[in-house]
Amino acid sequence: MCAIEAGKRGRRVAVLEHADRLGKKILISGGGRCNFTNLHCQPEHFLSANPHFAKSALARYTPADFIALVEKHRIPYHEKTLGQLFCDRSARDIVAMLEEECRAASVNIFLNTKIQEVTRTPSGGGPTDFLIRAVNAEFRATALVVATGGLSIPKIGATSFGYDLARQFGLKILEPRPGLVPLVFKADDRSHYCDLAGVSADVIAFCDGHQFREKMLITHRGLSGPAILQISSYWKQPQNLSGHALSIDLAPGHDLTAIFRDPKTQRTLATLRSELRKTLPYRFADRWLELHPPASWTNNALADFEQQTHAWIVTPVGTEGFEKAEVTCGGVDTDELSAKTTESRKVPGLFFIGEVVDVTGHLGGFNFQWAWASGAAAGRAL
């Protein structure tokens, strides 16, 4: 996107890609159909140490702008849920669209280009140049844009290269950590629940003042599903592996014990099980009742049971790591960059865009929209 915008303005542009093909993360996203944006994209859908940083770029390149590009290339798409837009056919359509736009803007693309060194050199009394040495070539330019992504999904080529380059030029990095990632149970929770792997339920997950209502999925090691992936970006690994908990409402909007306010209702486990099964999957309802039976059948005991079910306290021991994380939280400190152009305040001509920056979107197309918007911001400034 950055290359396209710069190319449209008549700049000579080279895209240096270390992989053997473009857009690998695009190709695997959204189950291969690429959740390329979200209709409801707003700054509050992003995490950053500076929550205002992303506003400028997001306002100047909107979901409607990207949708117009998709429609120009006659790519069929659909809205899935919550404003999430997906390709009808394949994520390959998005990569092909971007490649075609690059060709139209006379952008040069170099695949299999492994960069060994980046330096700055005076250019004959003019502006300082960046010299980029690759294994088989050298490139010289007055502007360098770092669009290397984060540490997520190393099997498709993610590395720390962007962070290393930022540090080389004296820019501050906020420690990268996995985001949108499954959480791992502590040992006792694993023994209690992980044989239910594959069971899912509609829940509200709470952590650090944030909440998300979507599906939760039990896995062989802990919890996943959209609600858990969303809240995971706000959950931080505690130093002592204890104490940082999250809360899960297993029955949003349901009063599970209301039936017992009728004096004619028998206060039995069978009745309570029947009520739980109306809201939770049978296996999970039965397990929950087995592990959290009411202390007695008094009104207070039933109120305690109700409260526990709406506030299941889970203390994960960790996450599934960058291997399973969809994004990387943290990255190049936004204080180091211009919000309008993404250019380094310390190093003229050096830009950082996309996931390598400390801007992380929620699940649902927001991270792609940040990629397009930050790319456009830099491309229009070059």
Domain covering 183-319 in this structure, CATH number: 2.40.30.10
Domain 2-178+324-379 bears CATH identifier 3.40.1180.10: no
Digit-coded pLDDT (tens) for 74-110: 999 999 989 999 999 999 999 999 999 999 999 999 9
Q: Give whole-number Cα distances, 206 to 184, 219, 244, 281, 333, in Å.
A: 16, 19, 12, 21, 26
pLDDT at position 242 is 55
pLDDT at position 239 is 66
pLDDT at position 240 is 59
pLDDT at position 241 is 57
pLDDT at position 247 is 97
pTM: predicted TM-score of the whole model, two decimal places = 0.94
Distance CA 133, CA 139 (A): 7
What are the domain boundaries of the chain? 2-178+324-379, 183-319
Counting as low any pLDDT under 50, the low residues of the chain are: none
Q: Give whole-number Cα distances, 313 to 4, 168, 260, 330, in Å.
A: 48, 43, 25, 26
pLDDT at position 128 is 81
Cα within 13 Å of Cα(22), Cβ side: 19
SS3 190: helix
Distance CA 188, CA 210 (A): 26
